Chain A
Amino acid sequence: MRRILAQARKELVQVARDRMALILALVLPAFLLLLMSTAISLTVDEMPMIVQNLDGSSASIRLLDAFRASLTFKIVPWSVDANPERALSSGVARAALIVPEHFGRDMARGGGAAVQLLVDASDANTAQQVSGYAQQVVNSYNIGLASPGRSAPVTAAIRLWFNPGRDSKKFYGPGIFVLALTLFPTLLAALAVSKEGEEKTILQVYVSNISAHEYLLGKIAAIMVVFACEAVILMALLLTYFGLHLAGDPTPFVVASILYAFCVASFGVMVGASIPNQLGAVAVVALGGFLLVFILSGLLFPIENIPPALRWMSNFVWGRYYIEVVRDALLQGGGWPATWYKVGIIGLIGSVFYSVAWWNMRAMQVRD
């Protein structure tokens, strides 16, 4: 135990002395969290839209007023006789609403009066949002504005749970939190071990009487301390700047965080022990830590959207489970019933990484 602590202390002193490592460890994660979760959002407001009113009746003007009043659309000027498609292809607008002639007459007659909405679908997801918002504006126009004495037979009172403001930051914040906590501690752990291999200082460790377990656990303990510091800084940001708060029982989150710290530190140590070359280790961490966790964990898009041929892979991505636990702790508040097996899997994957790292180091001998 004493030897583990000594090893951990030496590791922390090294990190604290190396300015590059210190920036890597403490400043960059916070920067990444702020930048990425502010920049990444899929929900669009103030969509530029053009309108062409070929009718001019009072009904058509009221319909266009409804669009003008919405926060989602921003009406940009466009001449009535110019080709509306031109506005979309040049990127002036993302949607065009065209009210045909005789719209007012059709409305007064009763029955359906059609208006056309052209949507730039080169971004399919945004296109779906735009058409959904437009449909909502039209629905509320139909209910209220068109005929004040009448209302639609069936309406839905939609309640948004867990994130009522539909704030993207609150969804991506916890995800980027996990991404940062995956990337940087892993990188530090991998560099700490591979550096000893590259600079051959590992030989001094081999000739000492320290065992493989003690050596690895010492490194892991140091990285877990770094992880804890990072987690505190990032969590402080989430709770203040992002306006999140702990929803429900925080104990699953705390337990999962400790296990996850062990998991990423073990992954880094495993990479470092297998590749005694700093550049190679960084490349593997970039590929394994960053790419896997970034794209296969449901950070950006739901896992269900991944085609089944690739989806099974996400079951092995450690970051995925921690993201789900963090989101649960900060948004949904499902507590242990919702998360117990995820916490378990994080521990399981971590011990697999540790075993592989130990297997590589167990002899404490120079490999030939």
Chain B
Amino acid sequence: MFLGRFRALILKEFRQARRDRRIAFVAIGAPTIQLLVFGFVLSATVTNLPLGVVDESATPESREVVAALTESKSFRLGGYYSSVNDLGAALGRGDLDAGVVIPYDYARNLQRGLPVTMQFFMNATNANTAAIGQGYVAGVLGSYASQLAMGGIHVRRPPPGVRPVVTRGIVVLKTDYLYDPGLVGSWFMVTGILGMLLILNGSLLSSTMMVKEKSAGTIEQLLMSPATTTEIIIAKITPLFTLLLIMGTIALVAIRFVFGVPFQGNVLVVFAGAVLCMLSGIGLGMLVATLTKTAQQAQLSVFFLNPPLASLSGAFTPIQAMPKWLQPLTLLNPIAYFATIVRGALIKGSGIDVLWPDFLGLGLFTLVVVSLSVWRYRSQLG
């Protein structure tokens, strides 16, 4: 009896969902396109910054240091300038991202063993580019200096009368990048965006589908049927959940084969997180649907719920870069938990033993949102 009624309800919802082409597109087509576009387009890598040079020294030594700076992939030669003013103007126009001024006594002082300082300008408008560019300069000059030392050029500048008693070595920093040794930026991006898409599209769809019967007035007919409110709600969610599951699978296939993210850990861990994430997305949408009257209001509200959710999630910017007082807010964000789970499981190869706090957080959020929305929806139906 129960099963027969329930089956009929689910069948009705599935047929409705199938007839509306737009639903399938919003649930599957749009997120796939978004994942691909975001993954390919959003990239924070800093390479080939145009570097302008004012070479007042014009010696083999100065050309050598310019070559050392520009042969790495970080900087490329953006042109020689005759004066610092020209260089500054080019930096202001945006033709250059960085500029270096090599003083006229560069080679002479280097040969004499006096320390040389070059002036280095960076366009710091983009803080990230400036931070990474600064690191590049430090790295290049660090290795250049140790090369000079090996080549017999030492700086002798003992304080007058005092000779250093011991000569000391140089610390050489050996950096190893774990998990993403090729520094592929898209790995970070797509693993974060997956959760964003599940929540975004899940809430958008569920709010429209839930509010539809309300605004069309057909909800009364459903209520007159012998079905209980729980059955109605579960039947409404099921097709949506199925669609999102298909979308999640497609997205994971794209993440694996289009973006080449290594699946170090267990994919089932990701799926478990994804199910929770979908449920909380659906719950959010339902909650919005209970608070609004028309599909238009629901869609607009979801539209404005999402930017804060997305930008406070760490999906495409690191959480540690947010101001300290904002960081606790990410504890209320399902996208943030899911991003940690996906990155942990896929890129780092972590299991439940490491990721359980995130599962706990995500699970709690899902529980609260879903029960709140079901409760509100039921009381509205009654």
Residues of A within 8 A of B (CB): 20, 24, 28, 32, 35-36, 38-48, 59, 63, 85, 88-91, 94, 106-129, 131-136, 138-139, 141-142, 146-164, 166-168, 170-171, 278-279, 282, 286, 291, 295-296, 300-302, 304-307, 310, 324, 327-328, 331-334, 337-338
Report 13 cross-chain contacts, Cβ distance below 8 Å, ordered by A residue.
A42-B317, A43-B127, A43-B131, A44-B320, A91-B344, A129-B131, A141-B171, A149-B158, A154-B115, A156-B100, A156-B117, A160-B122, A306-B40
Residues of chain B lying within 8 A (CB to CB) of residue A134: 173, 175
Q: Are B141 and A139 in contact (CB under 8 A)?
A: yes
Q: B179 to A282, Cβ gap below 8 A? A: no
A146 touches B348 (CB 8 A): no
- Among B92, B139, B159, B162, point to the contact of A332 (Cβ < 8 A): B92
Query: Whole-angstrom distance between the alpha carbons of A44 and B322 in the complex?
Result: 8
Which 7 residue pairs are nearest across A and B when measured between Cβ atoms? A132-B135, A160-B124, A121-B177, A42-B128, A125-B44, A121-B180, A149-B164
The answer for the CA separation of A304 and B76 in the assembled complex, in Å, is 13
B167 at the interface (CB under 8 A from A): yes
* A155 adjacent to B311 (CB under 8 Å): no
Q: Which of these, B41, B125, B171, contacts A306 with CB under 8 Å?
A: B41
In the complex, chain A residues whose CB is within 8 Å of the CB of B174: 114-117
Q: Known: A39-B326, A85-B178, A161-B123. Is A115-B173 also a contact (CB below 8 A)? A: yes
Query: What's the nearest-Cβ distance from chain A to residue B85, in Å?
Result: 13
Nearest chain A CB to B287 CB, angstrom units: 19
**With known contacts A117-B173, A128-B132, A157–B42 Cβ distance under 8 A:** no
Partner of A43, one of B117, B128, B171, B344: B128
Query: Do A301 and B43 touch across chains, with their CB atoms under 8 A apart?
Result: yes
Q: Which of B121-154 contact A (CB under 8 A)?
A: 121-132, 134-139, 141-142, 144-146, 148-149, 153-154
Q: What residues on A are CB-neighbors of B92 within 8 Å?
A: 332-334, 338
CB distance from B73 to the nearest CB of A (A): 12
Q: Which one of B40, B135, B142 lies within 8 Å of A307 (CB-CB)?
A: B40
The answer to whether A132 touches B179, judged by C-beta atoms less than 8 angstroms apart, is no
A113 touches B178 (CB 8 A): no
| A164 touching B124 in the complex, CB below 8 Å, given contacts A42-B44, A109-B169, A138-B142 | yes
Q: Does B337 contact A (CB under 8 A)?
A: no
Residues of chain A within 8 A of B144, CB atoms compared? 154
Interface contact B167-A304, CB-CB below 8 Å:
no
Interface residues of B in 348-373 (CB under 8 A from A): 348-350, 354
- From known contacts A115-B174, A158-B120, A166-B127, infer whether A128 and B169 are also in contact, taking CB-CB under 8 Å: no
> What residues on A are CB-neighbors of B163 within 8 Å?
149
User: With A and B bound together, what is the CA distance between A8 and B121 in angstroms?
Assistant: 49
- By CB atoms of chain B within 10 A, which of A46, A89, A127, A331 has the most? A89
B41 touching A63 by the CB < 8 A rule?
Answer: no
Given contacts A135-B142, A147-B168, A301-B44, contact A119 B176 (CB under 8 A): yes
> A42-B44, A124-B45, A161-B124 known; A132 and B173 CB under 8 Å?
no
Are A147 and B164 neighbours in the complex by a CB distance under 8 Å? yes
Contact of A122 among B43, B125, B176, B343 (CB under 8 A): B343
4 more A-B residue pairs beyond the given contacts A35-B308, A115-B172, A123-B318, with a C-beta to C-beta distance below 8 A: A89-B348, A125-B132, A136-B138, A153-B110
Residues of A within 8 A of B149 (CB): 153
A44 to B347, CA, bound (A): 21
Choose one: A128, A152, A157, A171; the contact of B120 (CB below 8 Å).
A157
Partner-contacting stretch, out of B5-13, B183-191, B221-229, B267-275 = B183-191
Chain A residues contacting B93 (CB-CB under 8 Å) are: 334, 337-338
A38 touches B179 (CB 8 A): no
Write out, one digit per residue, whether chain B residues 16-56 have a CB within 8 A of any chain A CB (1) or not (0): 00000000000000000010011011111110100000000
A79 CA to B346 CA, complexed, in Å: 27
Contact A135 B139 (CB under 8 A): yes
B155 x A153 contact (CB < 8 A): yes
In this complex, what residue of B is CB-closest to A60? B171
State whether B299 touches A279 (Cβ < 8 A): yes
Q: Which of B38, B116, B122, B349 is close to A154, meaning CB atoms less than 8 Å apart?
A: B116
Closest residue on chain B to residue A127 by CB atoms: B177
Of residues 195 through 221 on chain B, the ones whose CB sits less than 8 Å from some CB of chain A are none
Chain A residues whose CB sits within 8 angstroms of the CB of B1 once the complex forms: none
Contact of A149 among B121, B162, B317 (CB under 8 A): B162
For A28, A151, A167, the residue with the greatest tally of chain B CB atoms inside 10 Å of its CB is A151
